[in-house]
Structure 1
Amino acid sequence: MSDKAYAGVVLLISVAVASLLVLATQVAPSSPAFSIMAQCTLLAFTFQWLAFIPAYIMQTERYYDLTGGMSFIVITFYGLYSQTQLSITSILLAAMVLAWSARLGTFLFKRIVKDGSDNRFAEIKPNKYRFFSAWTLQGLWVVVTSGAALTVITSQQQSHLSVLTLVGALLWLIGFSLESVADWQKFQFKHDPKNKQKFIQHGLWAYSRHPNYFGEIILWFGVALAAYPALQGWQHVTLISPFFVTLLLTKISGIPLLEDKADQRWGTQQDYQAYKTKTPVLVPRFRSGSSGA
């Protein structure tokens, strides 16, 4: 398949999936043809495509992750602004999405400014079709991941705060804390000159090889659980969100890429092989007497 055809397929699939998700959120035949959810979806993709133009011209991926984080913030605020009345559940879900996206977006931007580049884009950046596809897929990621929360936020139906919503919020807080601490620990370790050519195996990284990803998966399951009581009928399709995040991080762009990179760098070292043997790839396993270098 040519690069141009690949970009076309990615665009077609992304728009089709997003459109089906938007249709599922319409709870009644009287719903507007171009609902607030549809507007948010269009806004998310347009934001990526506009950012792609200067990024390709300047051949930089520096603003890729920041644009993704900002997209969550923009569509969440747009959804809030579109409503004349907001339920406590809507406000809580919006706060979850905004806090996560602001934290992660700024962290990733700070990291790439410090590192100078992102190896994921080394080969695709010069190819306009492949690079465009990466931005399109980010738009799909924004729409699908925020789907459950955004559906509740933009709904005309007022929902009452439920026990499940509070449990979901607690789960989100646990996941958010895990991801934030793990990211901070690795950032500090990586940028300490004493740790050059070393791999992190202390803190949360002593219990999981990817505790930040585990935290992110947990927090999106929390968001889905918090949104669940307010969803109706086909809106429950948006609960695919945490499963989509899990698939993305464990099978596509997250863990597989990092595991391959780590194997290439430290695969011949006995201490790394021992670390891999005793430390789960994702779900933490707490053990007594664990320590790290």
Structure 2
Amino acid sequence: MNFVVVSAASFVAVAVVHTVTFLVGRVIGRYNVVDVSWGIGFTAIAAVAAVLGSGDVFRRILLLVLTALWGLRLAWHLFRKTKGNGEDPRYRRLLNDDFSAGHVIRRIFLVQSAATWFIALPIQLSATLGPTPSLLLAAMAVGVVGWAVGITFEAVGDHQLKAFKADLANEGAIMDRGLWAWTRHPNYFGDAAVWWGLWLISVAEWSSLATVLSPVLMTYFLVYATGGRLTEKHMMGRPGFEEYCSRTPFFLPRPPKKRPA
């Protein structure tokens, strides 16, 4: 019963976040502001779960803190990145230049609201379960390490790319330095590592295994739906990009290969 309460309240929370975001987008004339609400929605769900959950207090607080650190950092980064810019070409193509309210809500906000709620199911369920058994404490520790690796890749990768683009000498060049020499998408890989880490932390009993589809869906988004593959589709044809792809792994990091002579 507590899971039903937490899950229903989580759905309401994310619906409120995306309703406000839609109204803001309507006022400013662009809907890529929904990217900013992505991290905020997860943070709202983690807060609801921590407050309304009747499960282990330590795990509830841990998941809230880690989710909030990830989500709010991401929201702030995307706010600064999109501020003052026009509509994202991805959303123009997705909407087929139909910006009527109903179409925008169906194609963007309902989809992202449902995805946020579903991906956050491990946090919701975990908030209703008892203490983590000693047998699973090692998995929790691995989860914390995975989260730390993920947010480091994401934050450092974002910072490196921002600094690279700020240098006018790099205009038109392909970013292939720092973490971007280890993987073509350190930010997306970091997101995936964060959510697999949070899932491992959330596991407290056998029922927790049923939520494994949540990090699977997040990884799918990051690789195929709105992440790496879509990004590269728009980069194909840029000078040096194919050569960069030939020596840099797509998603999972590995030591960089030397640039060909």
Shorter-chain TM range is 0.7 to 0.9
1:185 Cα offset (Å): 0.8
2:247 is aligned with 1:272: no
Cα RMSD, aligned residues only: 2.4
Where 2:83 maps in the other structure, the secondary structure is helix
Alignment correspondent of 1:187: 162
- Contact map agreement 2:32 2:91 (CA 8 A) in 1: no
Alignment correspondent of 2:218: 245
The alpha-carbon distance between structure 1 residues 91 and 196, as it changes in their structure 2 partners (threshold 3 A), is: same
The alpha-carbon distance between structure 1 residues 256 and 287, as it changes in their structure 2 partners (threshold 3 A), is: closer
1:62 Cα offset (Å): 5.1
* Correspondent of 1:105 among 66, 75, 87: 75
Q: For 1:286 and 1:211, how far apart are their aligned partners in 2?
A: 13
Moved more, 275-284 or 98-107: 275-284
What 5-or-longer segments of structure 2 have no aligned partner?
A: none
- Contact map agreement 1:89 1:160 (CA 8 A) in 2: no
Q: For 1:87 and 1:54, how far apart are their aligned partners in 2?
A: 35
The alpha-carbon distance between structure 1 residues 128 and 92, as it changes in their structure 2 partners (threshold 3 A), is: same
Q: For 2:80 and 2:7, how far apart are their aligned partners in 1?
A: 31
Structure 1 residues 87-166: aligned runs within 5 Å: 87-113=57-83, 115-123=85-93, 124=95, 126-132=99-105, 133-153=107-127, 155=128, 157-159=130-132, 162-166=137-141
What 5-or-longer segments of structure 1 have no aligned partner?
A: 1-30
Q: Which whole-Å deviations, capped at 9, do the CAs of 1:195-229 have from their partners, x for residues lacking one?
A: 2222201111112111111111112111111111x
Read off the aligned partner of 1:278 and give its amino acid letter.
Answer: R
Q: For 2:110 and 2:125, how far apart are their aligned partners in 1?
A: 21
TM (normalized to structure 2)?
Answer: 0.87
- Contact map agreement 2:150 2:192 (CA 8 A) in 1: yes
Structure 1 residues 1-293: aligned runs within 5 Å: 31=1, 34-61=4-31, 63-83=33-53, 86-113=56-83, 115-123=85-93, 124=95, 126-132=99-105, 133-153=107-127, 155=128, 157-159=130-132, 162-228=137-203, 230-233=204-207, 235-264=208-237, 266=238, 269=239, 271-287=240-256, 289=258
Read off the aligned partner of 1:64 and give its amino acid letter.
Answer: V
- Contact map agreement 2:55 2:126 (CA 8 A) in 1: no
- Contact map agreement 1:97 1:146 (CA 8 A) in 2: no
- Contact map agreement 1:207 1:284 (CA 8 A) in 2: yes
Using the aligned pairs only, state the percent identity. Answer: 23
Q: Which whole-Å deviations, capped at 9, do the CAs of 1:214-263 have from their partners, x for residues lacking one?
A: 111112111111111x1443x43222121111111112111122101111
- Contact map agreement 2:149 2:190 (CA 8 A) in 1: yes
Moved more, 43-52 or 102-111: 43-52
Number of aligned residues: 254
Q: For 2:124 and 2:57, how far apart are their aligned partners in 1?
A: 13
TM (normalized to structure 1)?
Answer: 0.78
Bigger relative CO (Cα 8 Å, ≥ 6 apart): 1
Where 1:122 maps in the other structure, the secondary structure is helix
Q: Which whole-Å deviations, capped at 9, do the CAs of 1:50-69 have from their partners, x for residues lacking one?
A: 43134235422253122222
1:106 Cα offset (Å): 0.6
Q: For 1:286 and 1:182, how far apart are their aligned partners in 2?
A: 15
1:150 Cα offset (Å): 2.5
Q: For 2:130 and 2:170, how far apart are their aligned partners in 1?
A: 53
Read off the aligned partner of 1:255 and give its amino acid letter.
Answer: G
